[in-house]
């Protein structure tokens, strides 16, 4: 049985945007991820859920969807996303835990989760939640950190690294930072009701040496080519999966949210949502729905 309260990697108040992206030379990683994402995204859709959206780095990629729910555990990341993407009704900002999604079953026809699985202590629990809120045949695009990458294989063979990149179980190399074997991810996706339709290996040239030797443009071009080869030995893999089996389709439902604790209906009362089963109240803070903890 999966852990109902898995540990969470909390980015609240972190300087992820500036310290990881803006002040580091990660233009190459950002660009090749967008290339892969564009290759996998459907041509259009009604409502997309971006899980662990952070500060909204990739949220502008979802222009073909009528509505985008930008969801993250960190309110401060979402506040930046809101400043950046604006307050039009097309973007809905939701602070919530991916293990306890506050959404009605089957309200999304697409979801993405990029650079988030590597913080997940319970992969089965999070996949189960995601499948529940998707319609049948919905698209779920997942990025994961691949433990069977060339650098890890080389380090293992030369005894600089103890964990075996060919072993199927996840490796937690730093607290709440996991690398996954492609076979493990496939098994857990299938168990949760997803079928893999497409795989793209991404970010072959992350190492500093490549960045010193070649321009970002050249590296991006080379990565674009390698993405089409299916060689799954890159540090990052993007998957396009399809939700299988019969399940609810509530794409047209007026109410998107349910109580993340009880699953009960929510009724709006001023700047709060009140659970009709338990009476628990959830805040709406300056346009951001906050389901991290109830008010009372």
Ligand X SMILES: C[S@@+](CC[C@H](N)C(=O)[O-])C[C@H]1O[C@@H](n2cnc3c(N)ncnc32)[C@H](O)[C@@H]1O
Per CB under 6 A, residues contacting ligand X are 8-9, 11, 52-54, 57-58, 72-74, 77, 97-99, 114-116, 119
Is residue 52 left, alpha or beta, with left meaning phi > 0 and alpha meaning psi from -120 to 50?
Answer: left
Residue 199 CB, shortest distance to ligand X, in Å, is 19
Contact status, residue 19 vs residue 186, Cβ threshold 8 Å: no
Taking the C-alpha atoms of residue 229 and residue 248, their distance in angstroms, rounded to an integer, is: 36
Closest to ligand X by CB, 156 vs 223, is 223
Taking the C-alpha atoms of residue 249 and residue 35, their distance in angstroms, rounded to an integer, is: 30
Closest to ligand X by CB, 156 vs 291, is 291
Residue 38 CB, shortest distance to ligand X, in Å, is 15
Give residue number: closest CB to ligand X.
54
What's the farthest any 2 CA atoms get from each other in the chain?
62
Residue 141 CB, shortest distance to ligand X, in Å, is 11
Contact status, residue 256 vs residue 104, Cβ threshold 8 Å: yes
Closest to ligand X by CB, 114 vs 141, is 114
Q: Return all residues near 107 (Cβ < 8 A) that are at least 6 apart.
A: 47, 133, 135, 250, 251, 253, 256
Closest to ligand X by CB, 77 vs 274, is 77
Closest to ligand X by CB, 9 vs 222, is 9
Residue 3 CB, shortest distance to ligand X, in Å, is 12
The gap from C-alpha 255 to its chain's centroid, in whole angstroms, comes to 23
Contact status, residue 74 vs residue 10, Cβ threshold 8 Å: yes
Closest to ligand X by CB, 116 vs 256, is 116
Residue 254 CB, shortest distance to ligand X, in Å, is 25
Closest to ligand X by CB, 116 vs 239, is 116
Residue 159 CB, shortest distance to ligand X, in Å, is 30
How would DSSP label each residue in 14-44?
A: --IIIIIIITTT-HHHHHHHHHHHHHHS-S-
Residue 117 CB, shortest distance to ligand X, in Å, is 9
- Residue 208's alpha-carbon distances to 28, 169, 176, 220, in angstroms, are 11, 28, 24, 14
Which 8-state DSSP code applies to residue 82?
H
């Amino acid at each position: 049985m999966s852990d109902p309260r898995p540990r969470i990697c909390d980015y609240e108040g972190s300087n992820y945007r500036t310290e990881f992206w803006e002040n580091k030379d990660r233009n190459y990683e950002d660009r090749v991820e967008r290339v892969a994402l564009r290759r996998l995204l459907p041509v259009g859709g009604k409502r997309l859920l971006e899980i662990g959206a952070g500060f909204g780095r990739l949220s502008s990629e979802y222009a073909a969807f009528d509505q985008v729910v930008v969801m993250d555990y960190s309110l401060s990341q979402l506040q930046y996303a809101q400043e950046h993407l604006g307050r039009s009704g097309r973007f809905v900002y939701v602070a919530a835990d991916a293990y306890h999604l506050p959404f009605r079953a089957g309200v999304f026809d697409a979801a993405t989760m990029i650079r988030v699985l590597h913080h997940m202590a319970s992969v089965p629990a999070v996949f189960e939640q995601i499948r529940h809120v998707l319609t049948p045949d919905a698209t779920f695009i997942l990025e994961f950190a691949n433990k069977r990458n060339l650098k890890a294989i080389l380090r293992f063979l030369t005894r600089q690294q103890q964990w075996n990149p060919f072993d199927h179980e996840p490796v937690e190399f730093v607290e709440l930072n996991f690398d996954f074997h492609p076979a493990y991810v496939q098994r857990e996706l299938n168990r949760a009701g997803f079928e893999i339709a497409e795989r793209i290996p991404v970010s072959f040239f992350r190492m500093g040496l490549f960045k010193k030797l070649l321009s970002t443009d050249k590296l991006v071009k080379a990565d674009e080519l390698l993405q089409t080869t299916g060689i799954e030995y890159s540090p990052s893999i993007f998957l396009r999966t399809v939700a299988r089996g019969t399940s609810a389709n509530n794409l047209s439902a007026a109410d998107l949210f349910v109580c993340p604790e009880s699953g009960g209906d929510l009724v709006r009362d001023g700047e709060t949502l009140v659970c009709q089963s338990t009476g628990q109240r959830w805040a709406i803070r300056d346009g951001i729905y906050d389901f991290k903890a109830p008010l009372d």
